[in-house]
Structure 1
C-alpha cells in the first residue's frame, strides 16, 4: 500500500501550527510591552521631558530608535523614551524595525550606538520539524535563548544580557566575530532548511507586537524560554574548530567615550573641529569601479533566496564607500526588484519594495566601515582580494614598474642573484639547476625520477635559471595544444 504524502502547510497554516505548538508545550507568551520592558528596564532611556529635541541632548542616557517603512509614506524614524510609549503606539503596524541598542542622538549610525542589550539571531527555513529541533538543541548544543520570537516565516532568538555591553569600534568588531561564529553553530542542518545568513549585531528586527510579513492578523510573538546571559556564556558555545576562535580579546571594561572636558584638554584641535564647529570626521573614498563591480555581481545570478535583502544592503555600503549618490543607488537597487522577486520559492517568501526601502537605510546610517569578508558572509558570496585596489591592469603595472625603477635607483633591488652564484639557502634549487644544465631537453617528470625531489619544489625552481637548448617539435606541438585549450576556456 502506497503511503499518502503529507500535505505541505501554507505559510499562514504553518504560523498557526507554531503558535499552537508553543502553547501545547507551555511556553509563556510575553506581551509586547512586557517583552520590551524586560529588554529595556526602567531607567534605561532618557525621559521625554528631559530630552532636548533641538540639540539632541539629555541627561547622559541613550534612547532606542524605531524605524517604520512604508512604500507610500516612506521611512519614519522615532525615538523611544523610557516610558516605551512609542512602542505601544506601533503595536499592530506593519514594517516596524527595532534594534536591541541604545543610541546617543537621533540617528542609527554606527558611531551613535553605545549600549547593546541583547544579541539576536535570525533563523529562517523553519518548518515544524526545524522548530522542534531548535528548542531541543537549546538543552545542550546551542545556547538557550532568553526569548524565542515567532517573526512570521522564521524565528528570532534573543539572548538578553544581564548587563548591557558598552560599545565602541573595537568591541563591535569583536562582537560581530562572535555572532558570526555562533551563527554557524545555531544555523545548522537540523534547525534550518536554507543556507546560513550572517548579520551584524546592529541589525534591526521586526518589533514584537507589530505585523509580520503575513499581515496584521499574524503578529510577531515572543515566548519566554531561558534566563538572561553573559558574553562569557555565549563564547563557551563558540565552535572551537573555527579560525576566529583565537581572535577573541573582548574588553568589556572599555569606556564608552572620553568625557568632553577631558577630551578638550587631550585633543584641543579635534575638540574645536568636531565639537565646536560640528564638522564630520574625514574619511577616504574608493574608486567607483568597486561599486560597479559589486552591482554587476548582484545582477549576475549569484544571489539566492535568503540573501536578497543583504545584497541590497551591501550595495548601499559600497555606495557610501565609493561616494555614489543616494539617487543613483536607489535607481540601481530598484532595478533588482523584479529579478529578485522571480527567485521566490514555494515558501512564498516574497521580495518587495519594503525590503529594498529597509535595506537602503544603511546608506543614511553611515555604515561604510564593514570589511570585505563580512560583506561576503552577509550575501553568501566569495570575496576575492583585489590586489590592484580596483585599478586597471595597465594602471597597476605602470605603478609597479615605477616603484621597482625607483627602488633600483636607490640601490634597494637588483635583477636577481649575481651570475654564477650559488643558492646556499636552497640546495635543492642548485640540484635542479645542475640537472637542467646536464639535461637541456629534459622534462620535469624526468627530473623528478632522477633526483627524487618533490614535484612542487621542481616546479618552483624550474624557471629560476635560463637553459639554452633546441626545442623539440613535439614540445612545440604540446605548447600549441595547451594554448588552444586555454583559449577555448576563456571563450566559454
Structure 2
C-alpha cells in the first residue's frame, strides 16, 4: 500500500520532481518581469505618463484585504517574500481599486488546478508536453497544495467590460479542458474569472514561509487569444467558448442615447445604479442551498455568492455577516481531517464576503452556479406552476391581441409562442417547449415571427 504523504511532504516531493525533470525555477522578479514587461506600469513619481499599475493584495493584522501599488520597477515585490496571503493579479488597474471597471490591461490568463498529487502533476505536464488537449503553459507555479498555469499573452489586451466577459468565457472553456479526472483528484471543477488574483511567487504558501510559492518555466510560448481559442474543440457544445475578440467592444454614447433613452437618462445623466431589487426569498433560498449542496473546494465561493445575493436582495451587511458565521461550522465539516489547513474558519468566511460590493451585482445565475458548483436551474415562472404561468401569458395576449384564437376557438401554435415570448422576453426555445409542450420545430418556425 502506497504511503500517504502529508501536505508538506507532498510539497517537497513536487519540488524534487521539478528538479529531477530539469524544469528551471524562475526568480520571482524575473517571473513578473516577463509577464509585465518594462513600460507596463506607471513610473513612481512620474505623473506625466498615464498608465495603470500592478496591484498587490495582502491581509492586514485585522484580516482585512488591503492593496499596494506595483510600479514599473517592480520594487514592491521583494518586500513581500515569505509573507502569507499575498496575491497579485495578472492585470493593471487605474487607481487603487480592483473593480472590473478600474482594470486597464490584461497580461496573462491564469488557471488554478487543485487536487494535485504527484500522479496528477505528472499527467498535466505530460499532456502539455505532448500537446494533447492542453496548450503548453509559459510557467507552472507550485502554489503549495496545487498548481497555477500561466499563459502569458503576446500582447496585453485592453480590459473593456466586453473583453472581460469574453475572456471569462474562454477561461471557462479552457478550465474544462485543463481540469479533468487525470489532472485533479477533485471531481468538481473550480472556475475563476480572468481578473482573479493568485498567490504571489516568492510569498509564503498556506504551509508557511519555509514552503514558498515557486515558479518553473515550462515553455517560451507567449500566446494570442486566437491561438488559445484554437484549443477549444470544434464541437457544437463548445461553440459558446470560441470567442471572437475582433468584434466591436462598445456602442458610442450618442448611439446609446438614441437606442436606450431611459437607460441613458438614469445611468449616464443621473448616474444611478442599474441594480435590480430582488425579493429576499432568493437570499434565503441560497442559504439553504449552501447547507444542502456546498462541497470542499467551493466553500469560499458559496459564501461569496451569498454576499452577492445579499446585495441583490438589499440584505444588510450586518445580517450577511451573522448568516455567514452561522454557516462556518457546517462548511467546516467538509474539511479533510488529516489536513489542519483544510479547516474552514470564521476568517475565511469574512474574507469571502468581499462579494458584498456593487461591482459584483451584475453576476448572473450561470456565473454564480459555475463558481459555487451548486446547480441553479432557471425558473422563468417566478415560482408559479406551469398552469398559473400560462394563464398569465394568455391574459396578456388577450390585452395585446384580442383576436389571437383561430376560427375553431383553440389558440394557434403561432400565437401561443408569441404569448410566451411576451411574458419571457429573455427566454430560450427549450424553456418555451417545456412550458407549452409545443414541438421544438414549431417553436423555431414562429420564434422570430
Match of 1:336 among 323, 327, 335: 327
Residue 313 (structure 1) shift:
1.7
Q: Does 1:75 align with 2:65?
A: yes
Residue of structure 1 equivalent to 2:122? 132
| Partners of 2:63 and 2:347 within 8 A in 1 | no
Structure 2-normalised TM-score? 0.81
Report the aligned-residue RMSD.
Answer: 3.4
Q: How does 1:150-229 map to 2 (within 5 A)?
A: 150-195=142-187, 196-226=189-219, 227-229=221-223
Provide the secondary structure at the position in 2 that maps to 1:201: coil
Residue of structure 2 equivalent to 1:19? 15
| Partners of 1:208 and 1:222 within 8 A in 2 | yes
**Between Structure 1 and Structure 2, whose CA radius of gyration is higher?**
1
Residue 150 (structure 1) shift:
0.4
Rounded to whole Å, the distance in 1 between the matches of 2:225 and 2:245 is 11
Rounded to whole Å, the distance in 1 between the matches of 2:364 and 2:256 is 30
Rounded to whole Å, the distance in 2 between the matches of 1:266 and 1:123 is 41
Residue 233 (structure 1) shift:
1.8
Structure 1-normalised TM-score? 0.74
Rounded to whole Å, the distance in 1 between the matches of 2:412 and 2:365 is 40
Residue of structure 1 equivalent to 2:442? none
| Partners of 1:104 and 1:113 within 8 A in 2 | yes
Q: How does 1:330-409 map to 2 (within 5 A)?
A: 330-345=321-336, 348=339, 349-364=342-357, 366-389=359-382, 393=384, 401=391, 404-405=394-395, 407-409=397-399
Residue 285 (structure 1) shift:
2.6
Residue of structure 1 equivalent to 2:279? 287
Q: How does 1:37-48 map to 2 (within 5 A)?
A: 37-48=33-44
Residue 264 (structure 1) shift:
9.8
Cα deviation, 1:436-488, whole Å, max 9, x if unaligned, reads xxxxxxxxxxxxxxxxxxxxxxxx79xxxxxxxxxxxxxxxxxxxxxxxxxxx
Rounded to whole Å, the distance in 1 between the matches of 2:389 and 2:181 is 48
Residue 124 (structure 1) shift:
0.6
Residue 27 (structure 1) shift:
0.9
Match of 2:140 among 130, 144, 148: 148
5+ residue gaps, structure 1, are 52-57, 426-459, 462-492
Residue of structure 2 equivalent to 1:118? 108
| Partners of 2:405 and 2:411 within 8 A in 1 | no
Rounded to whole Å, the distance in 1 between the matches of 2:265 and 2:413 is 60
Residue of structure 1 equivalent to 2:242? 248
| Partners of 2:64 and 2:351 within 8 A in 1 | no
Residue of structure 2 equivalent to 1:298? 290
Provide the secondary structure at the position in 2 that maps to 1:222: strand
Match of 1:313 among 288, 293, 304: 304
Residue 265 (structure 1) shift:
12
Residue range with higher mean Cα deviation, 237-246 or 206-215: 237-246
Residue 290 (structure 1) shift:
1.6
Cα deviation, 1:212-240, whole Å, max 9, x if unaligned, reads 11112111111111122221221121133
Residue of structure 1 equivalent to 2:427? none
Cα deviation, 1:152-186, whole Å, max 9, x if unaligned, reads 11000000101111122222222111111111111
Number of equivalent positions: 407
Distance 1:126 1:417, change over 3 A: farther
Residue range with higher mean Cα deviation, 312-321 or 346-355: 346-355
Q: How does 1:87-106 map to 2 (within 5 A)?
A: 87-106=77-96
Q: Does 1:9 align with 2:5?
A: yes
Residue 28 (structure 1) shift:
1.0
Residue 364 (structure 1) shift:
3.3
Cα deviation, 1:357-380, whole Å, max 9, x if unaligned, reads 432223236122222112212122
| Partners of 2:56 and 2:88 within 8 A in 1 | yes
Distance 1:97 1:383, change over 3 A: same
Residue 187 (structure 1) shift:
0.6
Distance 1:23 1:342, change over 3 A: same
Match of 2:313 among 322, 345, 349: 322
Rounded to whole Å, the distance in 2 between the matches of 1:208 and 1:172 is 24
| Partners of 2:169 and 2:243 within 8 A in 1 | no
Q: Does 1:236 align with 2:227?
A: no
Rounded to whole Å, the distance in 2 between the matches of 1:174 and 1:74 is 31
Provide the secondary structure at the position in 1 that maps to 2:66: strand
Residue 284 (structure 1) shift:
2.5
